[in-house]
Chains A and B, each alone.
Chain A
Amino acid sequence: MTDLLREEPRVVSAGVDLFANALAAQAVPVTTVDWRPPVAGTEDHLARVLADPRRPDANALALSRMLAAGADLVDVRPAREVLGLESGQFLHAGPPITWERASGPLRGALIGAALFEGLAATPSSAEALLAAGDGVEWAPCHDSGGVGPMAGVVSPSMWLFELRDEATGRTAWCSLNEGLGTVLRYGAYGPDVVDRLRWMASVLGPLLQAAVRRRERIDVKGIIAQMVQMGDEGHNRNRAGTLMLLRDLLPALVDGGAPSSDVAAVAEFVGGNDHFFLNLVMPAGKLQTSAAADLPGCTVVTTMARNGTDFGIQVSGTGGRWFTAPASTPEGLYLGAFGPDDANPDIGDSAITETIGLGGFAMAAAPAIVRFVGGSVPDALATSRLMYEITIGENPAYAIPILEFRGAPTGIDVTLVTRTGVLPQINTGIAGRVAGTGQVGAGLVQPPMECFTSALSALAAAAPPLAPRPAPEVPGSPIRSAGASHVSRRDG
């Protein structure tokens, strides 16, 4: 707190420019807010939520927990072991969804997973099985403490990275990345796709498991901190992170006694897939946001995730409740002959990277890929800077060199999004609309504002009402002095 009457005033002005100018004319330092009205219809909810006495401390606690969260890779195991997933059970990206409303790529990935698990012999019989819901069920990865990129489909025989936050003992998981192009997570389910999944389950998973166990732990948070300084933003560019992971794993891989051809294949697969490390950034993000979850009164976003049909968010103060709205279609660049008509709406749990201040939020750190997602370097700098306007803090662990090592913008605040109208910026891959297509491009996308206004409304409903304070019961008579009365005069 400043001493109002003794310090030279330094003023923040919001509203009428005339008054800011009048202050400036008095040689007072004035910072003028680029103010605009909040999203229409939110003013009462905003007042209620901002009046919530729990909010400042809850948000501060959320931020400190997010910044303190660590992320170590501690094991690699099949989903059956990690999650107790049984045959016919699947997990997927984004908020909950039925088969009827599921998008092409999510259906394609479920079909591929059913084939991989041997639940059906052909794609059409797999589709029939899934559509009938006969002995099959699926639920969001997020609700099981993990994340999956794009369609995010996980079945019992797929192997998962397991990460642990040493500070809290909390764990999170993510699938192993298959590479780019025609892959399950983009909705492809051809024989190549299923064969690759089999190799990942029989060779890649076990070798990674042995290597990680020999290493005991790999500091994923530390690698992310370094990759951000090496031009990766952790969502659409993970090249440096992937190579640093490989550097850490290679000695243990080589020393693990597996056939050299398998070791070579694993090294080639990991090193040849620039996105391999995405599947470690994501669960590190899940650990970070889980640390901030379930704090009453807290307005920090803990999840942004899409299932290809709906975009869903979760907010700390409202626990596990999803706030959903139809997902937008990304804008960006397309591979080969694909074009915007081939694009599916936004899909995947990978927006967890933006939720922790990476990806689109850290675009300034990754000038090498701004053109790939259809932007320019000044755009990237402006985007990252704008994201500080909707976040409550900065993460010094993830420092952005070109912004003078400013920490990544961390802790998206629902009230800041609705007050400013500024939506989180997400970098993303673009899946083909039709099941079985695979990746068609990459670009930029934003969540629908409705997710945030719905969350705000729920936060308002959970906040104490704003009621006039009951009048204090002070006995005695009113001031009856006749106007200007001289109440007291003392020397001094």
Chain B
Amino acid sequence: MIRHVEVRAGTYHDSVTLMQVSQAVQGEEGVGGALVAMATQLNLDLLGGMGFDVPTASPNDLVIGVTADDDAALGRALARVESALAARSSEDSGAGGFGAAAAPRTVGSAARRDGATVAFVSTPGPYAFSDAMDALQHGLHVVVFSDNVPVEQEVRLKQEAHERGLLVMGPDCGTAVVGGVGFGFANVVRPGPVGIVAASGTGAQQLLGLLDGAGVGISHCLGVGGRDLSAAVGGASTLAALDLLADDDATEVVVVVSKPPAPEVADSVRERAEKLGKPVVLALLGPGRPDLTAVAQTVVTTAGAEWRAPRSWPSTAPVAGPYPHVRGLFAGGTLCDEAMLLVSAALGPVLSNIPLEPSWALEPGLPSKGHTMIDFGDDEMTRGRPHPMIDNSLRIERLLAEARDPSCGVVLLDVVLGHGAHPDPAAELAQAIVRARNVAGARGRDLAVVVALIGSADDPQGLEEQARALRDAGASVHLSNAAAARAAIALVNGGGGD
């Protein structure tokens, strides 16, 4: 028989609550008697009457007395005290009592009342730090979808997360899949062995779609934000995400998708990858490096599955060039980058708002000139405006403008499906494509439209239906962004492409 007495100073609970707690503790197997009470003289007398040594305590202190058969029973009893007191305080923070609970005004308030595990922050960039910090300080992992977050704030968030053993996904994390749940813009994918660490949202979505299309499932896709592997941020979230995936039984193969890291970050990522105990594919995107589709192929074979080339739906319209220049209108920055790499290698300079070379920058107002590609999802373009994956209006406007421009031969578009994206983008875009082709046709030109359709078979929009609607409008449709870019190149070069 063990007699345990402890005094906790400055902890107050009302007597009814404490009687309920005492009763709960007495119900534990192997527990003889238990008193959890404020240390009033009356309660101290009771404690003494139960055979305990009466401690020195004031009525503002909580006193706990437990008799137990053995250490295990005592452990259970004390755990029960904690859980019963905690249960009470979580009841407290709920909607208890009459009338409606106030809606939580802050992430912290919401976290306190509902025992959340993850916060998703998509507040405007200048405010996102406060909300994300609040999440971390309340013990939540956080996905920061917001962009336009200053880098020093990102560094501070990731430092806080590291100290608390939490993961910050983002800022500017467009896509994450955690345990099958899609955050932000995420595709519906089957569960499987591949864990993705992605500094690029649309890069991750292309991989999700292509892997799913090849029959390979995903364990988790952890976004880290586009700047994570920069010198300033030091790969903090990438390293943390690698550690998480290392310990995750469901993950058998890991792929890291990013632009090449800052030199000083590269070694630490490589070192961590080598010690992971699992195969790691480092997919570093850039000139002369394999495109995302090639990465997907490597991942699929590394996972021991058979690679199948991504599907495409050839255009029903006859090829009737010439097609002088390519105009890319992108929602995804990584997809835009990838298309620019391929097109510039084949056709020469591509002007852009996110140019590959500084001298290829578009003039203010972004007027098309030669081969031109615009990332409509860039920070500058989304300030105060919905993302082009949600709102197609800017891209449709530009599509019609390109239709009137005799120097435009091919329009290259990405259409991204999945959670969070427009519920039926093809419905709007197909109409616009028909109109654009008619506008060009009325001017005696054929306007070729090539679509990179980024999605998986189970996405809510319906991959097959979206592809057909776009094809029926006269576009050629490719599940591989690289394949779409190559089709555009082939059109300019006078080939049929598809």
A binds B: yes
Whether, in the assembled complex, B152 has its beta carbon less than 8 Å from a beta carbon of chain A, the answer is yes
Q: Is B79 an interface residue (CB 8 A)?
A: no
The one of B99, B127, B298 that contacts A43, using a Cβ cutoff of 8 Å = B127
Question: Of B14, B110, B277, which contacts A399 at CB under 8 A?
Answer: B14
User: Looking across the interface, which residue of chain A has its beta carbon closest to that of B422?
Assistant: A18
B contact residues, total (Cβ < 8 Å): 118
Residue B267 at the chain A interface, CB threshold 8 Å: yes
Determine if A386 and B102 form an interchain contact, defined as CB atoms under 8 angstroms apart: yes
Residue A166 lies at the interface, judged by CB distance under 8 Å to chain B:
yes
The answer to whether B276 has its CB under 8 Å from any CB of chain A is yes
Q: Whose C-beta in chain A lies nearest to the C-beta of B250?
A: A5
- Min CB distance A42 to B, Å, is 9
Do residues A11 and B420 form an inter-chain contact, with CB atoms below 8 A?
no
State whether the Cβ of A89 lies closer than 8 Å to any Cβ in chain B. no
Contacts of A382 in B (CB 8 A): 99-100, 102
- Whether, in the assembled complex, A98 has its beta carbon less than 8 Å from a beta carbon of chain B, the answer is no
- A54 CA to B96 CA in the complex, in Å? 33
B114: chain A residues within 8 A (beta carbon):
10, 12, 29, 31
B323 is an interface residue with CB less than 8 A from chain A: no
Q: Is the CB of B121 within 8 A of A14?
A: yes
Would you call A2 an interface residue if the criterion is a C-beta within 8 Å of the partner chain's C-beta atoms?
Answer: yes
With A8-B179, A33-B110, A397-B12 as contacts: A25 and B117 at CB distance below 8 Å: no
Contact: B135 with A402, CB < 8 Å? no
A18-B118 contact, Cβ under 8 Å, with A5-B248, A471-B264, A483-B295: no
Q: Note all chain A residues with C-beta closer than 8 A to B247.
A: 5
Contact with B along A373-400 (1 / 0, CB 8 A): 0000010011001101100001111011
Which of A25, A29, A420, A477 is B263 in contact with, Cβ under 8 Å?
Answer: A477
Contact A484–B119 (Cβ < 8 Å): no
Residue of A20, A385, A419, A474 near B264 (CB, 8 A) is A474
B358 within 8 A of A: no
Structural contact, B12 and A466, CB atoms closer than 8 A: no
Residues on A with C-beta less than 8 A from B55 are none
Stretch at the interface among A44-52, A73-81, A354-362: A44-52
B295 touches A484 (CB 8 A): yes
**Contacts known (A378-B99, A466-B152, A479-B261); A51 close to B133, Cβ less than 8 A:** yes
| Range class of the A interface residue count | 35 or more
Give B301 Cβ to nearest chain A Cβ, in Å. Answer: 10
In the assembled complex, B166 has its CB within 8 A of some CB on chain A: yes
Bound-state CA distance A7–B294 (Å) is 33
Query: Would A34 and B260 count as touching, CB distance under 8 A?
Result: no
* Contact flags A471-492 to B (C-beta < 8 A → 1, else 0): 1111011110111111111101
Provide the A1-25 mask, 1 if CB < 8 A to any CB of B, else 0.
1101111111111111011101101
Q: Give Cα distance in the complex from A477 to B266, angstroms.
A: 8
Q: In the complex, identify which listed stretch (A63-71, A237-245, A331-339) lies at the interface while the others stay far away.
A: A63-71
Cα separation A32 to B263 with both chains bound (whole Å): 40
B63 interfacial by beta-carbon distance below 8 Å: no
B203: CB under 8 A from chain A? no
A14 lies within 8 A of B274 (CB)? no
Q: Which residues of A contact B263 (CB under 8 A)?
A: 477-478
In the bound complex, residues from chain A placing their C-beta under 8 Å from that of B12 are 67, 395-397
Contact partner of A50 among B105, B119, B134, CB < 8 A? B134
Least Cβ distance of B481 to chain A in Å? Answer: 15
Return chain A residues, CB-CB under 8 Å to B269: 479
Give Cα A28 to B117, complex, Å: 11
Q: Are A488 and B276 in contact (CB under 8 A)?
A: yes
A479 CB contacts on chain B under 8 angstroms: 260-261, 266-267, 269-270, 282, 284
* Inter-subunit contact A468/B127 (CB<8 Å): no
Is there an interface contact between B283 and A9, defined as CB atoms closer than 8 Å? no
Tell me if B101 and A385 are in contact (CB < 8 A).
yes
Smallest Cβ-Cβ distance to B390: which chain A residue: A18
CA distance A469 to B230 in the complex (A): 12
The answer to whether the Cβ of B126 comes within 8 Å of any Cβ in the partner chain is yes
A26 is an interface residue with CB less than 8 A from chain B: yes
Per the bound structure, the CA–CA distance linking A7 and B244 in Å amounts to 13
Tell which of B96, B232, B266 touches A406, judged by Cβ atoms closer than 8 Å: B96
Q: Which of A4, A13, A219, A389 contacts B167 (CB 8 A)?
A: A4
| Residues of chain B lying within 8 A (CB to CB) of residue A486 | 279, 281, 298, 302
Q: Enumerate chain A residues within 8 angstroms of B376, measured Cβ to Cβ.
A: none
Taking CB atoms, residues of chain A closer than 8 Å to B59 are 219, 222
CA distance A488 to B273 in the complex (A): 8
With a cutoff of 8 Å between Cβ atoms, the chain B residues found around residue A481 in the complex are 282, 284
**Contact indicator B123/A381 (Cβ below 8 Å):** no
B127: A residues at CB distance < 8 A:
37-38, 43, 46
Is residue B104 within 8 Å, beta carbon to beta carbon, of the partner chain?
yes
Which residue of chain B has the shortest Cβ distance to A407 in the bound complex?
Answer: B92
1/0 contact trace for B101-140 toward A, CB 8 Å?
Answer: 1111111011101111111111110111111011101011
Task: Tell whether, in the assembled complex, residue B178 and residue A4 are in contact, meaning their CB atoms are under 8 Å apart.
Answer: yes
Residues of B within 8 A of A199 (CB): none
Could you tell me the distance between the alpha carbons of A91 and B274 in the complex, rounded to whole angstroms? Answer: 71
User: CA–CA, A29 to B284, complex, Å?
Assistant: 35
Whether a CB of chain A sits under 8 angstroms from the CB of B495 is no
B145 within 8 A of A: yes
Q: How far apart are the CA atoms of A29 and B114 in the complex, in Å? A: 9
- B60 at the binding interface (Cβ < 8 Å): yes
A11 near B118: Cβ-Cβ < 8 Å: yes
State the CA gap A222–B141 with chains docked (Å). Answer: 40
- Give the chain B neighbours of A469 by CB distance below 8 A: 155, 159, 232, 234
Q: Which B residues lie within 8 Å of A26 (CB)?
A: 181-182, 419
Contact string, B389-400, partner A, CB cutoff 8 A, digits 1/0? 010000000000
Q: For B265, what are the chain A residues with a Cβ–Cβ distance below 8 Å?
A: 474
**Considering only CB atoms, which chain A residue lies closest to B261 in the complex?**
A479
Interface residue from B10, B113, B268 paired with A31 (Cβ < 8 Å): B113
> A140 CA to B220 CA in the complex, in Å?
60
CB pair B290 A482 closer than 8 Å: yes
Question: In the complex, which of the residues B103, B123, B231 contacts A15, with contact meaning CB atoms closer than 8 Å?
Answer: B123
Query: Which residue of chain B lies nearest to A479 when distances are taken between CB atoms in the complex?
Result: B266
B170 to A: closest C-beta gap in Å: 12
Cβ of B13 < 8 Å from any Cβ of A?
yes
Residue of A whose beta carbon sits closest to that of B133: A50
Query: Bound complex: CA of A396 vs CA of B134, how far in Å?
Result: 24
Q: Known contacts A167-B10, A467-B152; is A420 also within 8 Å of B106 by CB?
A: yes
| 5 A-B pairs with C-beta separation under 8 A | A33-B109, A47-B130, A364-B97, A484-B294, A490-B277
- Which residues of B does A touch, CB under 8 Å? 9-10, 12-14, 17, 58-60, 89, 91-93, 96-107, 109-111, 113-124, 126-131, 133-135, 137, 139-141, 145-146, 150-153, 155-156, 159, 164-167, 178-179, 181-184, 219-220, 231-232, 234, 244-245, 247-248, 250, 260-270, 273-274, 276-286, 288-290, 294-295, 298-299, 302, 390, 419-420, 460
Question: Which 3 residue pairs are nearest across A and B when measured between Cβ atoms?
Answer: A404-B96, A483-B289, A68-B10
